[in-house]
Every structure is written in structure tokens, then in C-alpha cells.
Structure 1
Amino acid sequence: MKRHSMKACNQFVADFEKVIKKPLKHFSKTYYTGVDLGTACVVLAVLDEDYKPVAGAYRYADVVRDGMVVDYIGAVELVRELKEELEQELNTELIYAAASLPPGTDELDGGAIKNVVQSAGFELTNLLDEPTAANRLLQVTDGAVVDIGGGTTGISIVENSQVIKVADEATGGTHLSLVISGAYKLTFEAAEKYKQNKQNHDELLHVLKPVIEKISSIVIQQTKGYNVDGIYLVGGTACLKNIETIIEKTTGIPTYKPTNPMFVTPLGIALSCTDQVLT
């Protein structure tokens, strides 16, 4: 991946962070929404007809676990609330949305995620796996896109701009929080908050090293036999300071991450949204 493409990704995320705080109200013939139903956080990203960020909202929630919708009613209500909030801010109706799910869970849960998005009032136009969605923004031509979510780590291996393998394994942010909970004698919820505070990241890196090495071993296993010369980290868990250093050291593969990896996947989902409804 050329250096400028990460720069473009970082700029796009920075533009999105601005419109979360102050939405851009201008006429657009249509709007494209990315719905990211994460284990720890639900994110909606809205782009205009030129696929530029105009609004966004997110909320920490416990409606999905390990990529599976566990609170269907809660998920629908939350997505609907965020949709209505954004519609008020933009003074328009949001019709089209795309969504994503962890690789390999389509048969198990694709229907549930599709139903959540549709029940919240959207027309669903695309449903794709998370790391592939992230690469719509990253634009990696060769390498492995690794989406470290709350419950799982998803991997897309890309060669000549084509996804040639996707995989997903159960280790992610939830496992980091469980370790913090045990080490610091905190409830799971308190451990989650402790982890999200960037001021704690330096000390946490030592405590969490074994779990990060487990994530690294998943990457090693899934990329075996493929020519992977770069790892590109996305997902909320990748926000942990210097996680890329441990992954690079353990895998022996140069590892990169955007300035804010949390919003790469929802923005990639939004970029894959169209005005053609899925049948």
C-alpha cells in the first residue's frame, strides 16, 4: 500500500469526526448510510451523493456479541434512534443503507443484521464482511486487512486489489476487557471504560500483551501460505495505543493503522452503499 493512501484514509476519517460534531447541511439528491453493528459500539456514517461525509453518530451498546445480534429489539431501536437523530440534523430522510458482518457468519447471522437495518426503516443496498468493507476506504492493494472488533478478529487477504480470502476468529476487545477485569478486580463494564481511557493505555499494554499475541497468532495462522507484506489494523480494539507494535513484533510483518481505526469500517460500509436495493 502506498503511503499516500493511508493519508487519504486519515483525512476522510478526520472529515467524518468533524461532521459528527457539526453535520454538513447542504442539498444532496441522495444520502448513503453505513450501519456498523459492533459488539461494543453501533456507528452510523452518512455520506452525500458525492460520497463525502456529512453526518455521523455512535453509541456504546450491548446488542451484539461476537458478531451475533443478541438483543434484536434493542438493536432495531438503537439504529432507529440514531437514524432519526441524523435525519433531524440533516433535515432529510435517510433511505439507503449498507451493513456488514464478521467474515463467515453470513449463514448464521446475515439475516438478523439485514432485518435490524430494514426494521429500523432503511432500504438495505449492500451487506459485506467487515474487513472487506474497511478496505473500501483503506484501498490496500496487497496485504492483510485485520478488523479487531469487540468479539472477533476478521481478516481479509488482498492480492492485486482482489480479496482472495476472508476469515474470522473469536478473540477481540471483549477478551481484553475480561483480562483487565481480572487483573484490576473490576466489573466487566468498569473494565471496558478503563480500556477506553487512552491515559491508561501505556500501563495496559503490558497486562494485555498475551491477548494481543493471541490475536497476532490468529493473523499468522490465517495468512500462512499467502504473500502478505503488510498488516493494516482497523476496528475499535485497534485504538489501543501501540497494539500495532506488538503485532508487528510477533508476526514479523510490517503493521500499520490509521489515526482512528474505529471509524474506518463504518465509513467503508457507507462507501459501499448504493441506491439499488438488495433483493
Structure 2
Amino acid sequence: MVDITRANHLLADFHQLANTKTSRSFDKTFPLKIGIDLGTSSIVLAVLDHQDRPVYGSFEFAEVIRDGLVVNYVEAVQIVSRLVSEAEQVLGVAIEKAATAIPPGTVGNDKKIVSNVLESAGIEVTTVIDEPEAAACLLDMHHGGVIDVGGGTTGISIIENDQVVLTIDEPTGGTHMSLVLAGHYRISFQEAELLKRDHKQERDNFIIVKPVIDKMAEITKTILAQHPISPLYVVGGASYFEEFASAFSAYIGVPVIRPDYPQFVTPLGIAKASILD
């Protein structure tokens, strides 16, 4: 039996902090753990205390990352600088170091570019972790599969004995949902992005984007046929639909666990995995 009660509690706390940009009290004799996640649809800053409890959070929607690559470097630096400055004002401490994450399989200059963004914003990068490892860290997961439904891609990672032994990243994600909505309603991509986040229209939107979700599930089903494993967790902002996990489970034929506020699993995991002096 998988118990993600603690993870859900942390995610709920962080969700409240990130949406109000308020902070919780913390012991200033210990350094804070900072994580900065450069996602396809948003950049998230997560702050934990030395006991891995959320202290502060913030995020800003942005289109500066595409399929794990920085496509607008200057704007990415500006957003990170802004989020860090706001956090410093609220917390009353300087933020000089942080951890970050990269999509699995990222190599060469693409691997360095995320760190370069943070460094250009005046932040020393202490830890760079793969996104599925960050998710596993937050979930205290040592064995199983992580299905990370991001903006541009769906990544499936198999973890055994705390090690990522297989990763597949396919170009189907939240962006494709928005494109389907844009085509259905004959609206712009930007309007479709906002519509996708409208919880009042979630049921109707889910029916429209379900073929995209089925494609994600088919990718996962193919991988599991070759590498069966459990439990399976689905994370990432594009999995926020209430019916996502049940529809995904029905398609692949095995249970799928979706934490609360799945868009914040990776950012919190990055912060939790950060290395302190």
C-alpha cells in the first residue's frame, strides 16, 4: 500500500504559500533549501526549511522553455531574478544559492543552459538533478515508475533501488492539449492556455483533450509492456485534470497514483534534494 499522505500535506502547504506569496516562520540559524524549476509553462521557486517543510513559494507563468530547452534566455533570467527578489523581501534573508533540475537525457550545452540562467540571475547552483529523480525525492520513492506530464513532453522513468534505470521522453504534453483546444474552439494558442486552466470548464475541456491523454497513456503502456513496474505515479502540471489519473489507469490497465497539486511535485523535490553547506 502506497502512502503519500506526507507528500500531499507538503504539496497542500506549498500550494497555499505559492498562491498567496506569504511565508511561514522558520529557524534562521539553519540555511534554507531553495529549488528553482524552469518548466515549459511556468517557473517555480520553492523554499523549504532544514526539516523539508515549505516556508515560501512563488511561480510565474512563462513561455521561455520548450521541450526542456531555453528559447528566451533573457526573459527566463528576468523571471528568476524577479521571483528571487520577491522571496528575499518576504523572507528577510538573501538567496544566493539554489538547486535546479533538467529533463532526463539532457546532455552537453543543453544541460548547462539551465544553470546558466540561474547564474545570470546571481544564483550559485549547488545541485542539478534530473526531473524524475526530483519527483522521486519528494515522494520518498525508491522503486516504481514516474510519469511526468510536462508542457512539451511526457517522460516515463523507471526507478529501481533509488536509481533511474530507464527514461523515455516523448513529444506529447500540455502544449498539445492547448493546441487541440485552440483548434476545437478556433481560438489562439494563448487563449487556449488560459482556457485549459479554467477549472469551471474542466469537464468539457477534459473530453476534448482526452485523445491527447490517451496518446500519453499508450506511450506509457508500451514502456510498461517491456519494463513492468509498480507503483506508478503521475506528476506534472498537465495532469491536474480531476479525471486524469482514473482515465490513465483505465487505459493502461494498472493503478496510477496522482499526488495532490502535481504541478508542484518536481519543484519541491528539487528543493528537498538541494545540497547545503
TM-score (norm 1): 0.93
Aligned to 2:2: 3
Question: Within the alignment, does 1:103 sit opposite 2:101 as a pair?
Answer: no
Residue pair 2:104, 2:169 contacting (<8 A) in 1 also: yes
Instruction: Give unpaired runs (5+ residues) of structure 1.
Output: none
The two structures, once aligned, show a CA RMSD in angstroms of 1.5
CA distance in 1, matches of 2:107, 2:9: 31
Could you tell me whether the CA contact under 8 Å between 2:77 and 2:121 is conserved in 1? yes
CA contact (8 A) 1:39 1:149 kept: yes
- Greater CA drift, 220-229 or 141-150: 220-229
Counterpart residue type for residue 72 of structure 2: D
Counterpart of 1:158 in structure 2 is: 159
Question: Equivalent residue for 2:13?
Answer: 15
- Matched-pair contact (CA < 8 Å) for 1:41–1:60: yes
Greater mean alpha carbon deviation, residues 176-185 or residues 161-170: 161-170
Instruction: Please list, as runs of the form range in 1=range in 2, the aligned pairs for 1:1-279 lying within 5 A after superposition.
Output: 2-4=1-3, 6-20=4-18, 21=20, 22-28=22-28, 29-107=30-108, 109-275=110-276
Aligned residues: 274
Q: What is the CA distance between 1:72 and its match in structure 2?
A: 0.5
Tell me the distance in 1 between the aligned counterparts of 2:125 and 2:76.
16
d(CA) in 1 for partners of 2:25 and 2:201?
A: 37
Change (3 A) 1:107 1:220: farther
| Structure 1 counterpart SS, 2:26 | coil
1:98/1:269 contact within 8 Å kept = yes
Q: Which runs of 5+ in 2 are unaligned?
A: none
CA distance in 2, matches of 1:273, 1:232: 22
| Offset of residue 108 of structure 1 | 5.2
Tell me, yes or no, if the aligned pair for 1:96 and 1:273 is still in contact at 8 Å.
Answer: no
d(CA) in 1 for partners of 2:5, 2:52: 18
Whole-angstrom CA distance in 2 between matches of 1:163 and 1:80:
32
Q: Post-superposition shift, 1:249?
A: 1.4
Q: Is the 8 A contact 1:96 1:275 kept in 2?
A: no
Question: What is the deviation of 1:76?
Answer: 0.6
TM-score, normalising length: structure 2: 0.94
Q: Which range moves more in the overlay, 21-30 or 197-206?
A: 21-30
